[in-house]
A and B are shown apart, each in its own frame.
Chain A
Amino acid sequence: MSQALTATACMGLDSGLSLRTSPAPTVSADVATANDSETPDRRRVAWMAAAQAGDRRAYERLLADSVALIRTTARRQGVAPDGLDDVVQETLITVHRVRHTYDPGRSYDAWLTAIASRRAIDALRSRGRRDSRELHDDYALDRHPDADDASAATESGQRAQRLHEAIAELPPGQREAVEQLGLRERSLSEAAELTGRNAGALKVNLHRALKALRERFHGEP
């Protein structure tokens, strides 16, 4: 279990009282352009309350404003720089799905940090699993060096380059499917949420893309 993420909330009836003491969320433009003199957390609390009521403008500002905090949280959990954007996306998707669990009587930052930390840990775990499946045996690598390292590296580099070019030339829908499902190893539902396409369309596009790539690399003389 991860460490306690906030130290603010205390046990007791406070959670119950917050229902009555929290300001009623109002859907209005002035919430979205909240006063700059407020603390950033207060501003985000107002935006989230408005977003829960359906204010799209407040919601988009809030999410854009949240990216930096998510990145900081993920970095603190030990996520490598190249993994930060993935954690940001996963966190934003989770925020969207569970936005009803936010209580405007409490800190938005604490709520967001808890979700971001969990997504960061998930990312570290899935990366750990991927790494453990791959072969990392320095001894074996030393004992069995490639016959001619330089030319092999060049050749595999060229192959990767050709594959990337081929993917880049696919129609946009197919390219998206390969990137999300193949290269980034997302699940169908995650990819569907990220791209806004339905799972069936993604599957068909992946299938077509793989067929096109296969023909290109094996079909050609």
Chain B
Amino acid sequence: MMPEPSSHEALIDRLGTGLVPVRRLLPPWLRTAGWLLVVVALAVGLLLHYGAAPMLRRWAATPDLAWAGVGAVITAISAAWAAFALGVPGRPAAWAWLPLPGAVLWIGASGLGCLREWIAPGTEIASMHQSADCLVFIISFSVPLSALLIVLLRRACPLRPVLTAVLIGLASAAASASLLEICHAYDSAATDLLTHALAVVAVVGVNAAMGGRLLSKA
């Protein structure tokens, strides 16, 4: 069924009839900053409640955990920025690689936590029960942060919905892990790291499965 040549004209005419002025989308970095503002607000709330002292004390004792925290923050920022960039048609898919350096630092430094018992035998190690709290914490903060990103990106035009959803999952999981640093009562160990990894994979996976569908309708 070939439409007759005039059918494009008819469509163009109809689209022209429905033309109203539009408010242009803000640039990706500004939209990223808006989302980060919400994360910062949450961080301020947690700091007011717990204070910065326990976090700083823990970081002084185990610098690799401080590096992991820095890596998580960088991952959250770069993954969100990449997601917003991919929401604009014509931006290269290479943006998806932006969170890689931060993620390497985050995962690499956390991985050192596995060796905790050999590096710093005196530190307190989380039990399975405490680790489950971390899982709940990361997931419960990731859900609203992911939802906010999905809402913001539905106003854009993510032409690669699943890739964008993976970045959304990564950004919100990394942001949640960063927030967890503030109120984490104990040091990273194999059990703790495993639950973190589980939470991150769950958040990214759910986003890829559901977010991809939600974004492709946008």
Chain A interface residues (CB < 8 Å from chain B): 1-7, 9, 11, 13, 15-16, 18-19, 51-54, 56, 59-60, 63-64, 67, 82, 85-86, 88-89, 92-94, 96-103, 106-107, 110-115, 118, 179, 183-184, 194, 196
Instruction: Decide if B30 touches A16 in the complex (CB within 8 Å).
Output: yes
A94 to B156, CA, bound (A): 12
Shortest CB–CB separation between residue B104 and chain A, in angstroms?
17
Question: Which has the most chain B C-beta neighbours within 10 Å: A16, A18, A94, A115?
Answer: A16
Given contacts A60-B16, A63-B12, A82-B2, A2 and B21 within 8 Å (CB-CB): no
Contact of A64 among B9, B20, B26 (CB under 8 A): B9
Contacting residues, chain A, for B21 (C-beta < 8 A): 52-54
Instruction: Decide if B22 touches A15 in the complex (CB within 8 Å).
Output: no
Shortest CB–CB separation between residue A110 and chain B, in angstroms?
4
Shortest CB–CB separation between residue A191 and chain B, in angstroms?
12
Contact of B90 among A5, A18, A89, A99 (CB under 8 A): A5
Instruction: Decide if B1 touches A183 in the complex (CB within 8 Å).
Output: yes
Q: Is B27 an interface residue (CB 8 A)?
A: yes
A60 to B16, CA, bound (A): 6
Instruction: Decide if A59 touches B19 in the complex (CB within 8 Å).
Output: yes
**A5 nearest in chain B by CB position:** B90
**B156 nearest in chain A by CB position:** A101
Given contacts A15-B85, A115-B159, A183-B1, A1 and B90 within 8 Å (CB-CB): no
Q: Is B129 an interface residue (CB 8 A)?
A: no
A59 to B28, CA, bound (A): 25
Contacting residues, chain A, for B16 (C-beta < 8 A): 56, 59-60, 63
Shortest CB–CB separation between residue A183 and chain B, in angstroms?
6
Shortest CB–CB separation between residue B168 and chain A, in angstroms?
15
Instruction: Decide if A51 touches B19 in the complex (CB within 8 Å).
Output: yes
Instruction: Decide if B93 touches A7 in the complex (CB within 8 Å).
Output: no
Contacting residues, chain A, for B57 (C-beta < 8 A): none
Shortest CB–CB separation between residue B140 and chain A, in angstroms?
30
A131 to B15, CA, bound (A): 32
Shortest CB–CB separation between residue B5 and chain A, in angstroms?
9
Contacting residues, chain B, for A97 (C-beta < 8 A): 157
Q: Is B117 an interface residue (CB 8 A)?
A: no
Instruction: Decide if B14 touches A196 in the complex (CB within 8 Å).
Output: yes
Interface residues of B in 115-138 (CB under 8 A from A): none
Instruction: Decide if B2 touches A85 in the complex (CB within 8 Å).
Output: yes
Number of interface residues of B (CB under 8 A): 43
- How many A-B residue pairs lie within 8 Å, measured between CB atoms? 128
Instruction: Decide if A1 touches B12 in the complex (CB within 8 Å).
Output: no
Contacting residues, chain A, for B9 (C-beta < 8 A): 64
Contacting residues, chain B, for A16 (C-beta < 8 A): 27, 29-30
Contacting residues, chain B, for A196 (C-beta < 8 A): 14, 17
0 or 1 for each of B1-44: is its CB under 8 Å from A? (1 = yes): 11100011101111111111111111111100000000000000
A15 to B160, CA, bound (A): 19
A19 to B27, CA, bound (A): 7
Instruction: Decide if B1 touches A179 in the complex (CB within 8 Å).
Output: yes
Contact of A1 among B15, B25, B26, B160 (CB under 8 A): B160
Contacting residues, chain B, for A194 (C-beta < 8 A): 11, 14
Instruction: Decide if B22 touches A89 in the complex (CB within 8 Å).
Output: no
Interface residues of B in 156-179 (CB under 8 A from A): 156-157, 159-160, 162-163
Contact of B29 among A13, A101, A184 (CB under 8 A): A13
**B12 nearest in chain A by CB position:** A63
